[in-house]
Structures are given as C-alpha cells and as structure tokens.
Amino acid sequence: MNREYKKLLSQIVLTPGLISYDLNGPGIKVKKGRFSPIYINMKKIWSYPEILSNITKRLKEKCVGCNCVIGIEAGGSPFASVIAKELEVSLVLTRKKPKNANIFAGDPITGGGSVVIIDDVLATGFSMEKSLENIRKVNRKVALVVILSYGMDKIIAKKYDLTVHSLYQIEDFIQALPLEQVKMLAPYIKIYQKKLLELLK
C-alpha cells in the first residue's frame, strides 16, 4: 500500500461512528439472515467532504476507460454519480426494493464496451446479482470497484466472471486501528471470513 493510500486510510478509520461491533452477542445484522461481529458503516464518511473526495478520486482511477458507471444503492451511489460526471460517461443507479431488487434508475444499459459497478463494501457480491443479470443481457466487460473488501475478491471474480478492484481489505482497516483493538477484533474477522467462504460455495 502506497503512502497516499495509507494516509487516506488513517483518515477513514478515524471517522466517528464508522466502526461498530458486537463480539459477545449474535453480531450486527448486515443482511437478512446474516450477522457480522464487526460493521463498517461507510455512509458515515459522507459527512466529511475531504475524505469523500479523496476516496472518489481513488475509485475513479479504477474506472478509466469504461463507458458506463453503475452505483449500487446506497453505498455506491454518491461515488458513482461523481465519477460518471467527471469521466463523462453514462450513469445508472440501482434501487433496492424488498420485492423488486436492483431496479435500474437512469437510461437503459445498451451497446457494448465496459461497465464498472461501484459499491462501498464487498462481502459476497450477492447484492449485485440482479444488476449483473441485466448487464449481461446487452453487454459487456464488467468490473467491480469497491472501497473495502472482506477478502473474497478472487472467489467473487471467478463466480461472477468479472474483475474486482478493492482499495482496501478488511485486514488493512483493522491494522490501522489502535493495537488493543487490533488484538480484540482480528480473531472475529477471521471467523466471519470463514462464514463468507461457506456462503460463496
């Protein structure tokens, strides 16, 4: 990890309310039926323009050459909107609804070329499945760009036949915390990663 990425990470982890955890109970609900001992709420950084801007800049570097940017609601939407505008490419946002997930908001995705899907946190990739189905109907080379990954990048890339770019891994986040928190949280992260592996089989 280069110096700029380390500096940005040190700013991110200090964001108030970013990291919460439940180590003695069932965990924090992150998806229906799935609980994590640690929850990284990336939406907290939305209130900090400098951090938001620097993350967007790093994400945009991974999107150069694409002709469409898709933002996964809600975590990927603010980044995708700015990136699409700055790169002057099409923007599509997906809206998740209980009975009709991943509805496209914006112009239909047509033609060829390449698509970049933007999200904040990547655990299993399940939240983008419907979007991928719609993209595959008309396109196209697909890449997934996220801020934080729980370490399943290679498995998800193979499973969904796409390229995955992550700015940081969960281990990077944990190691950037004070030492006492590192010692406390690291074992629980490994346990959760094993659960994710089981889900992806």
The whole-number pLDDT of residue 5 equals 94
Instruction: Determine phi and psi for 27, rounding to 5 degrees.
Output: 105, 180
Segment 185-196 shows an average pLDDT of: 95
Chain center to CA of 132? 15
State the Cα–Cα distance between residues 1 and 72, nearest whole angstrom: 26
Q: Are 155 and 200 in contact (CB under 8 A)?
A: yes
Regarding beta strands 114-122 and 68-72, do their DSSP bridges make them parallel or antiparallel, or are they unpaired?
parallel
The CATH number for 69's domain is 3.40.50.2020
The whole-number pLDDT of residue 98 equals 46
Mapping DSSP to helix (H, G, I), strand (E, B) and coil, where does residue 37 land? coil
Instruction: Domain count for the chain, please give it.
Output: 1
Element (H, E) at 103: strand 103-105
Check pLDDT > 90 for residue 44.
yes
Residue indicated by tokens 């700055």: 86
The whole-number pLDDT of residue 148 equals 97
Residue ranges making up the domain that contains 151: 3-200
Segment 98-115 shows an average pLDDT of: 60
Check pLDDT > 80 for residue 136.
no
Is the dihedral angle over the CA atoms 26, 32, 37, 39 positive or is it negative?
A: negative
The whole-number pLDDT of residue 198 equals 95
Q: Please enumerate in sequence order all residues whose Cβ is within 8 A of that of 132, keeping only pairs 6 or more positions apart, or say none.
A: 117, 142, 160, 162
